[in-house]
Amino acid sequence: MKSSDLVDRAGAIREGEELDLGALKAYLEPILGSKVALMEMQQFPGGHSNLTYLLTVESEQWVLRRPPFGSKVKSAHDMSREYRILDALKDAYAFGPSPIHFCDNQEILGCDFYLMNYIEGLVIRREYPRNLKLSPSQIRKQLFNFFDVLGDLHSIDLEAVGLDTFGKPRGYVARQIEGWSKRWEHAVTPDTVNCDSVIRWLHDNMPQESGKASVIHNDYKLDNVIFDPADPLRLIGVLDWEMSTVGDPLMDLGCTLGYWVQMNDPDFFREARTMPSDIEGAPTRVEIIHRFQERTGLSVENFPFYFCFGLFRLCVIGQQIYYRYYHGHTKDKRFAGFLEKAHVLQKMCELIISEKITE
């Protein structure tokens, strides 16, 4: 097997997500040079929020990021915020893409967008690639490396990177619960699941702040990171910083654990998983928490709350995505299935609340 066989490839642009290539070339010529006349564009697969395109001119490549078409949630797709975080981290965190240019002239593409460097590598989605043959011990090491890189992000000195005044870390937990509850209300459709009891439980069971403010990614998952094709256990890039901010790192860990399905989870949850985390060798949520505590020095004392929050947040995001499809803001048929995913996540939250799942 060649390592190049494991590289995540861009492909055809999805219907309804085309960009004005002519306008983009004219805008980028003063920035990238006359070579942009030969520029070609493709779109990366996966992703249901900010859109990612590959720009190619012969041997040179860049990535363009823009908000989704038809989104109601402007704050969740703030390109300037995403760009600023990456710019601040470029010399302190080896895993973030390097930002190149930010554009707030909406006459070009109808939205803000930015360019960054292209990190070529392996992206793991719902299943491991068939040609990636890893033993259980290798899978375990790879996935622990995945969480170690998250812990490294949470250990960055905010003042050193100029982010000590970025965001509002005080009261972060309460604002997250309140904010995601309101987002749920705004994304409800007639066929929506009822999350009232989950919202009440999260409000009633909020723990105290961890006492630490960190850069947090807010959507750290396997298909948002890149592994080295020549050494698939080594993580080389972290993508999709659209929801990043400064806040409580335990909430960030909860967001990632919301995706983490393990082998002893209910079948309905395993069937809906988006990452291959329920296979032999993969660490359990308890093992992940122990590793995270050792790596960061933080104590995770209220795991059910953080896990439930992570699940509920994904439930809201799924409902927001489905809302766009329901109201015809996107033609992407993948979005139709997010209603059922919202039901699955709500059901898992209820199992945590009833203490039928405790770890």
Segment 246-266, tens digit of pLDDT? 999 999 999 999 999 999 999
* 311: Cα separation from own chain's centroid: 14
Q: 3-15: per-residue pLDDT in tens?
A: 666 888 899 999 8
Residue 76, pLDDT above cutoff 70? no
Q: 102-115: per-residue pLDDT in tens?
A: 999 999 999 999 99
CA dist 191 → 160, 326, 343 (Å): 48, 10, 10
pTM of the model: 0.90
pLDDT band per the 50, 70, 90 thresholds, residue 86: very high
CA distance 323 to 329: 8
pLDDT confidence of residue 46: 67
CA dist 195 → 236, 297, 340, 345, 346 (Å): 38, 34, 14, 10, 7
- The structural domains of the chain, ordered by start, are 3-117 (3.30.200.20), 136-353 (3.90.1200.10)
Tokens of 7: 């590289």
CB atoms within 10 A of CB 292: 23
Name the nearest CA neighbour of 294 among 283, 309, 281. Answer: 283
CB atoms within 10 A of CB 114: 21
First to last CA, the chain: 38
